[in-house]
């Protein structure tokens, strides 16, 4: 494994009025690894994600993605650089088919524009055809062939999750941000999703930054884990190191009485 840093977050702070959602957070995600960000509810994990892909403009700090400073860039420009994301509560285009959702994930590879698209020139047609081929590979990979023409809004939650993952993959990202990819899923769906995440990491080689509450999943698949509480990083290390760290246990379970 190379030692290149894919994402370097330096002293990131995000304040909403008087609330310090994230305070001087630093971590590095190495290329090709799965990095998990965990912490109790309200710890600021999703805020970190929103800073990374430009939904929020951080109050302080820098984020470097492959030698490029992405702090304060617009969301669509960050996406074009190769950071894709899935959402905790899904953000799919519900009135479109699975196929169209996935094609939209590749939208920034398509440059037909309205004139060439409207007249459907040879070049626009070729572009669409190539996008379709690529998207079909992803449909195949995620095993959603049977629903490719269905409207996303009518699909079960677990499949919608997969479609959203597919949309992120269609962008061929270098870094994939997954916001609680298995929340609200049953054991079987969780198992499928974890298998997909591992496959993406191992076969495609995508670097993954993960926020997850399911500790079993986090401990099983992560290469490295950072724990945040009240916007401050309290621990970082391998899953084994973190799980026995007394500060982490205290943050999750509260302080015990030593005499008992």
Binding footprint of other proteins on the chain (CB under 8 A): 53-55, 74-76, 79-80, 84-85, 87, 91-96, 100, 103-105, 107-108, 110-114, 117-120, 124-125, 127-129, 132-133, 136, 167-168, 171
Buried b (16+ CB within 10 A) or exposed e, 92-107: beeeebbbbbbbbbbe
Cα distances (Å, whole numbers) of residue 119 to 107, 130, 133: 18, 18, 22
- Identify which of residues 127 and 236 has a Cβ nearer to other proteins in the complex: 127
Token pair of 72, please? 């304060």
d(CA 168, CA 142): 12
DSSP 179-236: ESTTTT--HHHHHHHHHHHHHIIIII--EEEEE-S-HHHHHHH-SEEEEEETTEEEEE
d(CA 174, CA 55): 19
- Identify which of residues 102 and 248 has a Cβ nearer to other proteins in the complex: 102
Q: How far is the CB of 99 from other proteins (least distance, A)?
A: 9
d(CA 127, CA 117): 10
Q: How far is the CB of 37 from other proteins (least distance, A)?
A: 18
- Identify which of residues 7 and 194 has a Cβ nearer to other proteins in the complex: 7
- Identify which of residues 18 and 113 has a Cβ nearer to other proteins in the complex: 113
- Identify which of residues 59 and 107 has a Cβ nearer to other proteins in the complex: 107
Q: How far is the CB of 166 from other proteins (least distance, A)?
A: 12
d(CA 47, CA 44): 5
Q: How far is the CB of 138 from other proteins (least distance, A)?
A: 14
- Identify which of residues 129 and 195 has a Cβ nearer to other proteins in the complex: 129
Q: Report the relative pairing of strands 224-229 and 34-38 from DSSP bridges.
A: parallel
Q: What letter would DSSP give residue 40?
A: S
Q: How far is the CB of 76 from other proteins (least distance, A)?
A: 5
Q: How far is the CB of 136 from other proteins (least distance, A)?
A: 8
């Amino acid at each position: 494994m190379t030692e290149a840093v894919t994402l370097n977050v330096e002293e990131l702070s995000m304040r909403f009025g008087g609330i310090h959602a994230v305070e001087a957070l630093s971590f590095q995600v190495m290329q090709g690894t799965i990095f998990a960000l965990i912490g109790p509810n309200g710890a600021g994990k999703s805020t970190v994600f929103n800073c990374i892909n430009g939904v929020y403009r951080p109050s302080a700090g820098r984020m470097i993605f492959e030698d490029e400073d992405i702090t304060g860039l617009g969301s669509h420009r960050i996406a074009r650089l190769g950071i894709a994301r899935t959402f905790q509560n899904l953000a799919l285009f519900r009135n479109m088919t699975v196929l169209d959702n996935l094609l939209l994930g590749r939208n920034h590879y398509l440059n037909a524009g309205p004139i060439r698209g409207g007249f459907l020139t040879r070049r626009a047609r070729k572009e669409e055809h190539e996008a379709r081929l690529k998207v079909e590979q992803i449909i195949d990979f995620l095993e959603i062939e049977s629903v490719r023409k269905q409207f996303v809004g009518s699909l079960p939650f677990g499949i919608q999750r997969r479609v959203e993952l597919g949309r992120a993959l269609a962008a061929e990202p270098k870094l994939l941000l997954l916001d609680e990819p298995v929340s609200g899923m049953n054991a079987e769906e969780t198992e499928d999703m974890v298998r997909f995440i591992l496959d993406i990491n191992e076969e495609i080689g995508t670097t993954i930054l993960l926020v997850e509450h399911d500790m079993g999943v986090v401990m099983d698949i992560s290469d490295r884990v950072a724990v945040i509480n009240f916007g401050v990083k309290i621990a970082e290390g391998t899953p084994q190191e973190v799980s026995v760290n007394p500060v982490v246990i205290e943050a999750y379970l509260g302080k015990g009485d030593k005499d008992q």
